Amino acid sequence: MITADEQLAEMAAQALAEVRRQKPLVHNITNWVVTAFTANATLAVGASPVMAHAHEEAAEFARAAGAVVLNIGTLTPYTVQAMSLAGRAANELGVPVVLDPVGYGATELRTSATERLLGELRVHILRGNAAEMAGIGGRRAVIQGVDAVAAAPEAETAVAVARRWNLVAAVTAAVDSVSDGRRLLQVANGHHLLTRVTGTGCTASALVGAFAAVEPDGVLAAGAALVCLGVAAEQAGERASGPGTFAAHLLDTLHNLDETAVRRHARVAWAEPPC
């Protein structure tokens, strides 16, 4: 559905090469469910994950990192405070901060934690699903638990969130939309089994962090990460017989992903932002 922009495909391939060359440290404060898969995916793409949430060391790891990824799944007040400490330390040094507002709108705690972090921190990239992001953009969405069941058109949502919060918004869906409020980039890579494995959204956020560590333009960083994850997912989907083998193959295909495959299979393009 997207005619690939060759320059963007080339950018994604080069960003992947750069992640592998620099092996950036990505400091994650994330949830109990996805820690292992997120760390393994970060390793597979070529970066170096650290998962740490103690208040005594959150800022120290953030200062050493190429990017900080904050994820509010299984949040508690303790972990939100850790995210605040890590995020502020990252902001002081200009280390990019990625926020994943898991379940925004599902409970008061998640909504207020997201708004606290967006208020306190300079968040560079906000990565969420359509329902979470629609809520953050001030739109209505139907949410069941932490998974979206219906939402406003994603491209509009991405632009609205980016403008409202002055950041890069990445809305992942069948077609992903990434915007800084001015530009809109779309990625059509992916596989339906991504929605049947827990933590693939969280993994997308962690990979966005890895790419943000090497690419200062947040729209390009998020776009490249989503292209690489999507192309790897397509390759994994061909080998999988269901979500369990898909998850294992996805780590393999991320690890083996070559720049030529990214150039050839990337379905990424600029689109006209809705007014």
List contacts with a copy of itself (CB under 8 A).
Answer: 23, 25, 27, 31-37, 39-40, 43-44, 48-54, 56-57, 60-61, 64-65, 73-77, 103, 106-110, 144-147, 196-199, 240-245, 247-256
Residue closer to a copy of itself, measured from CB, 11 or 240? 240
Rounded Cα gap, residues 35 and 202, in angstroms: 9
| Cβ at position 66, least distance to a copy of itself in Å | 10
Cα pseudo-dihedral 242, 106, 206, 32, rounded to 10? -80
Nearer to a copy of itself, 49 or 218 (CB): 49
CB of 59 to a copy of itself, least distance (A): 9
3-state secondary structure of 145: coil
Toward a copy of itself, which CB reaches closer, 160 or 193?
Answer: 193
First CA to last CA distance, the chain: 22
Residue whose CB is less far from a copy of itself, 34 or 130: 34
Identify the residue whose tokens are 């994994």.
236
> Taking the complex as a whole, how short is the minimal distance between the CB of residue 238 and a copy of itself, in angstroms?
12
Nearer to a copy of itself, 50 or 271 (CB): 50
What is the three-class DSSP state of 99?
A: strand
**Which residues have CB under 8 Å from 40's CB, separation 6+?**
251
CA 86, 92, 98, 102: dihedral to nearest 10 degrees?
A: 40
Minimum Å distance from CB 226 to a copy of itself?
Answer: 19
Residue found under tokens 């699903």 = 129
CB of 270 to a copy of itself, least distance (A): 32
